[in-house]
Structure 1
C-alpha cells in the first residue's frame, strides 16, 4: 500500500490540519473530524471584495449562472453572488482519470489564501454541492473574482489589432510579478501559458487555473514529484524539459513556461508545429525551442535583447534560468530600449 500523498503538497499549512476530504473521496490523508472542507475564514458579510475566502457558499445567493468556458477538468460560469459578478468553476470528475481530477480540485486551493493584483482571487470553495447546482460528475465548486471573458490566448491570436511592444512588455511584467509572488509563497503554477492568463477590463493580466500547481516543500528549491500525483504536468508545448523527464519540480519550471509565452506575445505565432510526440522528444533530446533565427522582430537591438532573454528562460538547465525576481530588471531594460 503506497504512502498517501502529503497534504502539505496541495494545501497551505494553515489549512490542512482542519481539512476533511471525505466528500471528495480524495487520496490525500483524511482528517477524522468534520464533514466538509473547513478553513479559517471570517463569516461572509459585506461586499465580496472585502472578504477572505471561505468554505461556505450561500447557494441561494447565487443567480444568473451563464456558461463562460470549459477546460480539461471543469467548466466556468459567469454568475451573480451576493449582488456581485463572480466566476464559478465546477471541477468535474474525469472518467479516464478520476484521481487526477480530484487532485486538480485540491491543487486549485494552493493559491486560495493569496491576494495579489496579478493573481485571480478565490472567494469560496466547497465539495458540498446541493441538488440543482451540480451533477454526479461535479466533485467541487470554486467561486472566484470575475476578471472578464478575455484571456491572453484570445488577445494574441484572436484580435486583429496590433500587439505593440509596450503592450506585450506590460503584459509580460504582470505575469512575472504574479509568478514572483507565487514563488515567494513556495507555490509553483506549472501551467503558465496564454490561456491561463486573464486580461481584465483595465488591461491587467491575472494568472488563473491552479489545477496543476504544487506547494514546494518548505526550505527546498526542488521538490521531488510523487508518482501518485497524477495531475502534475501542464501543457506539453510549455512544459519544461525536466518535467518531461519526470525530474524534480522547482520554480524554474514556471520560468521556462513564461519564456514560451513571451515568445508567443512577441511573434503572435504558435511555438511548435508537427506531431506532439516528436515535439516532446525534440525538446528534451535536441533542445528544440521556438524559432528566433528567421524572425525579423528579433533583428533589432531590442529584438536581440529579447532573444537573449528567451534563451535564458528556456535553458535546458533549470539552474541557468533566472528567477522571476531576476526577470524584472530584464523587462525594464527592454522597456528602456523601447523609449530611447
Structure 2
C-alpha cells in the first residue's frame, strides 16, 4: 500500500533549508566568564569545568607513568603564545647552497655596537690574532679554539666548552644552529649581541668577550658556566633554602643591574640562570632582552610557565622580570610543576601561593614570593627593594 507524501510548497522548503543550514550559529555559550582571582581576571567559562591540579614534579611524573596506557598519554601543554615560532618556520625552509650573499661571507667580521668604530673593533682580535690564518680552509672558530665538550643545544644554537689558543684560557662559545636566511634574519641574530655589548660588566651577568659572524652564523665568546639552576634542580629538588637564598640574591643583583641600565630580560627561568665553578649565579640568554629606550616591539614572550600575564597584551615593564623570578624561585623551592596554560596557569597568576606549595616554604620566602607574583605589575617590588628586604630578613 503506497502512501502519498504531504505536499510541501517551495516557500516552505526554502524556509526549512535556511533554518537548518544557513542560520548563523549561536556562540553565546562561549561568552560567559568567571573570575578566578581577587583582581577579577576574566577566563573562559570552560575553565570552570576543570579542577585545580597543581602539584609537584615528582607527583606529576607519577601520574604520567600511571596514564601511559592512554592513547595520547600526558604531553607538555603548548605555550600560551610564542612569537619565536615564526622564526622556526623561516629557519626550517630548505637551504640555498652555492650562492654568495651579502649576509653570508666567507671571512669573519666582528660585531660591534653602532657607535663604535668597526675597523678598530676588527683590529682587536681578528686581524691581530696570532693564530688565525685567512688563507686556511678552516674558519676562525676552528683555528682559534679547541673544543673540549658540548655544554648544550637548544632550538637556535649550540654552546661549547672551548680552550682559546691565544691566551690559554677556557671559555664558552655560543654559535647559531642555522645559517642566516635573509638580511632580516641576520639583523635579528645580531640584536642579542649588540644589546649584550651595551650592558656594562657585572659579576652576575654573563660576560660577552667578543663576537663575530662567518659563513652565515653568529659566534659569541662568553664566560664559562658548566651548569645551570635547571640542571641543579634535576639532581636535587627542592633546593635547600639556605643555598637558594644565596642564588636568589645573585639573580636579583643581576636583574637590578639590567634594570638600572634600561634593559628587561624577559626570559628569566632556571635554565637561563648559569652557575660558575665558584657557585656564582649569572643571568644568561639575552635573545629576548628588551631595550626600554630604543625598542618598540618584543621579539618574543619567553617561556609561558614563567610569563607575567600582562605581557600578552602590552609592552613589558621591569615588573615582568620580577614576576618571572618569583615563579622561578617558587619552582626551585617547592619542586612545583608549573603549567604552561589552562586553569592552573591562571591560579598561579591570582597573586596568592596555593596551599600545596605554601606549606613547603618558610615564612620569609613565602612573603617575598607573594610580593613578586602579584597580578598588578605596579604592586610588585623592584629588584632593589627586594634586596633591601632580604638583607633585613637574613
Cross-structure match for 1:241:
309
Please tell me whether Structure 1 or Structure 2 has the larger radius of gyration of its CA atoms: 2
Matched, 1:267 2:334: yes
The number of residues matched between the two structures is: 270
Matched, 1:151 2:228: yes
Mapped partners of 2:220, 2:379: distance in 1: 37
In structure 1, runs of 5+ residues without a counterpart are 1-21, 26-34, 47-56, 130-137, 336-340
TM-score for the superposition, normalised by structure 2: 0.60
Structure 1 segment 191-210 matched on structure 2, within 5 A: 191-210=267-286
Matched, 1:308 2:367: yes
Mapped partners of 2:351, 2:316: distance in 1: 21
Q: Kindly tell me: are residues 319 and 238 of structure 1, through their superposed partners in 2, closer, same or farther at Cα, counting changes over 3 Å?
A: same
8 Å contact from structure 1 (residues 174, 204) kept in 2: yes
Mapped partners of 1:224, 1:64: distance in 2: 39
8 Å contact from structure 2 (residues 103, 183) kept in 1: no
Cross-structure match for 1:5:
none
Matched, 1:23 2:23: no
Structure 1 position 294, deviation (Å): 5.1
In structure 2, runs of 5+ residues without a counterpart are 1-101, 130-139
Structure 1 position 249, deviation (Å): 1.3
Structure 1 segment 1-340 matched on structure 2, within 5 A: 23=103, 37-39=111-113, 40=116, 41=121, 43-44=124-125, 60-64=143-147, 66-81=149-164, 82=166, 83-93=168-178, 103-113=188-198, 114-129=200-215, 139-147=217-225, 149-159=226-236, 163-217=239-293, 225=297, 229=298, 231-245=299-313, 247-272=314-339, 276-278=340-342, 282=346, 287=350, 291-292=354-355, 295-298=358-361, 303-335=362-394
Structure 1 position 305, deviation (Å): 2.9
Residue aligned with 1:126, SS: strand
Mapped partners of 1:99, 1:283: distance in 2: 39
Per chain length, whose mean CA-contact separation is higher, i.e. which structure has more relative contact order (CA < 8 Å, sep 6+)? 2
Structure 1 position 308, deviation (Å): 2.3
Structure 1 position 277, deviation (Å): 3.7
Residue aligned with 1:297, SS: coil
Mapped partners of 2:241, 2:341: distance in 1: 33
Residue aligned with 1:23, SS: coil
- Taking only aligned residues, the RMSD between alpha carbons, in angstroms, comes to 3.4
Deviation digits for residues 141-192 of structure 1 (CA, Å, limit 9, x no counterpart): 1111212x210011123237x7332210000000000000011110111000
Q: Kindly tell me: are residues 164 and 101 of structure 1, through their superposed partners in 2, closer, same or farther at Cα, counting changes over 3 Å?
A: farther
